[in-house]
């Protein structure tokens, strides 16, 4: 399967981006393709329906998501919601990009967990006809520490992420067979 992993932060050392890169590496280790789209690197203009087709980075985002079999969306939690950068990127994508694709929602929060951003993200996914993975990943506080190699420091974070990732991949494979 081909999985696109979108990091919805515009911060260079964002823990949500570190988590996305760890997830992508794990996806590849499990024999699937993984593409990381880091919205700090792939900067998009502010969404406007009038200019949606014009920008090269928008085309790259759209082509990548359209070609994916499943999607990982990661966001930092800002004021109880998703980042503006991720919301802007999602505004460029319509039903065609998410229809019948399983989406794993992932968050990183300064507090214990980022549940509010995950529920907001799942509402958006539902409205663009994606299939929300019932499991999600949220890391917060001390759980946001990563090694220099990009692996979570805490063993329980690794176990939780791997368990959720396996669930997501199995669900994605199952729904893909039905399509």
Q: What is the pLDDT of residues 59-113, one digit of tens each?
A: 999 999 999 999 999 999 888 899 999 999 999 999 999 999 999 999 987 666 6
What is the arithmetic mean of pLDDT over 3-12? 95
What is the arithmetic mean of pLDDT over 51-59? 84
Contacts of 104 (CB under 8 A, 6+ apart): 70, 71, 72, 73, 133, 135, 136, 137, 164, 165, 168
pLDDT at 80: 87
pLDDT at 41: 97
C-alpha atoms less than 13 angstroms from C-alpha of 22 in its C-beta half-sphere: 27
Q: CA-based Rg of the chain, rounded to a whole angstrom?
A: 15
pLDDT at 52: 66
Domain ranges of the chain: 2-178
CA distance 120 to 126: 10
pLDDT at 13: 86
Q: What is the pLDDT of residues 123-166, one digit of tens each?
A: 999 999 999 999 999 988 787 888 888 888 889 999 999 999 99
pLDDT at 150: 82
CATH architecture of structural domain 2-178: 3-Layer(aba) Sandwich (3.40)
């Amino acid at each position: 399967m081909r999985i696109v992993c979108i990091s919805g932060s515009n911060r260079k050392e964002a823990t949500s981006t570190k988590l996305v890169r760890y997830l992508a590496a794990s996806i590849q280790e499990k024999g699937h393709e993984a593409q990381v789209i880091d919205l700090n690197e792939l900067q998009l203009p502010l969404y406007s329906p009038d200019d949606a087709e014009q920008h090269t980075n928008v085309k790259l985002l759209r082509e990548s998501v359209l070609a994916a079999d499943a999607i990982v969306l990661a966001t930092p939690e800002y004021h109880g919601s998703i980042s503006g950068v991720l919301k802007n990127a999602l505004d460029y994508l319509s039903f065609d990009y998410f229809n019948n694709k399983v989406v794993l929602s992932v968050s990183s929060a300064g507090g214990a967990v980022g549940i509010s951003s995950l529920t907001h993200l799942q509402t958006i996914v539902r409205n663009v006809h994606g299939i929300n993975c019932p499991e999600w990943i949220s890391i917060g506080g001390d759980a946001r520490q990563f090694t220099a190699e990009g692996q979570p420091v805490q063993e329980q974070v690794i176990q939780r992420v791997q368990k959720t990732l396996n669930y997501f991949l199995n669900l994605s494979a199952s729904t893909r067979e039905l399509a």
